[in-house]
Amino acid sequence: MPVCTTRDGVEIFYKDWGRGRPVVFIHGWPLNGDAWQDQLKAVVDAGYRGIAHDRRGHGRSTPVFDGYDWDTFADDLNDLVTGLDLRDVTLVAHSMGGGELCRYIGRHGTGRIRSVVLLSAIPPLMLQGPGNPEGVPKAVFDQIKAGIVAERSQFWKDTAVGFFSAGRAGNKVTQGNKDAFWLMGMAQTIEAGVACVDAFSDTDFTEELKKIDVPALVVHGDDDQVVPVDATGRRSAEIIPGATLKVYEGGSHGIAMVPGDKERFNADLLEFLAR
């Protein structure tokens, strides 16, 4: 399997398809690079090079017990980008991956980056507080961690419903979507599951968003039941200089996987890449 060995000896699995200008996909929690299969095919068919890695402790990457912090994630991404000598890169990040993208730019700059896409992403801040009333209460994150520890297999099955807004009337979520979510969740280590909640719940990426000096597309669903659009997507688009915001009516957190929404996102992504 293709792997990138990081500076601390962790093997990061990645897919590397096609030729042309590189598009690097950064997955969310608790997923892995397989979440981007549809987008990988779309960009490769359009003449780009598509790359998607599994974060440490997720999927086929080394199931380490530690290193689940933003600096480490960003440096892992940098090891991949520099190891493959990628340049003129578009970074596409979903959910927690948005934090990885922001920290990468904060630590490594945009010298190799052409543009960025934030999809249903967590920046600038998830945690509810006096300055972020639209955020998620701390008690919710505590419940998530408790659910993973108590019975993570059932927890992932239950969580898939909200992830895809599957309880909404008229939704197009398939059983396959929910099964895929469960499978990827089970391929994540239990420590990664818990530690990543601590990482993404209360980190403020405002200053790092301000450092994004390349074209940016922000896409978010207005029915995202995991990462509220008013606390994240709308604010990120206000903070990033010149960012374009697209809000999908009825869109869930799992836009890139759900029939209908994924085709719309693929079209928006390809239009953005062509600029």
Q: Kindly report the backbone phi and psi dihedral angles of residue 8, in degrees, each rounded to the nearest multiple of 5, phi listed first.
A: -110, 20
Instruction: Tell me whether residue 95 is one of the annotated catalytic residues.
Output: yes
**Rounded Cα gap, residues 88 and 106, in angstroms:** 17
Catalytic residue among 76, 201, 253, 261: 253
Report how many helices (DSSP H) and strands (DSSP E) the chain contains, helices first.
9, 8
Residue entry with tokens 């998620």: 136
Instruction: Tell me whether residue 224 is one of the annotated catalytic residues.
Output: yes
Cα 164 to chain centroid distance, Å, stands at 15
Catalytic residue among 95, 120, 165, 236: 95
**Rounded Cα gap, residues 268 and 106, in angstroms:** 26
Rg (the chain; Cα; Å): 17
Q: What angle (nearest 5°) sits at the alpha carbon of residue 144, between those of residues 28 and 125?
A: 55
Residues 51 and 43 sit within 8 Å (Cβ to Cβ): no
**Rounded Cα gap, residues 187 and 90, in angstroms:** 27
Whole-angstrom CA distances from 251 to 20, 58, 227, 228, 247 are 31, 25, 12, 11, 8
H/E stretch holding 97 reads: helix 97-108
Catalytic residue among 224, 236, 252, 261: 224
Torsion of CA 84, 27, 101, 82, to 10 degrees: -10
Q: Kindly report the backbone phi and psi dihedral angles of residue 168, in degrees, each rounded to the nearest multiple of 5, phi listed first.
A: -80, 145
Please give the positions annotated as active site.
95, 224, 253
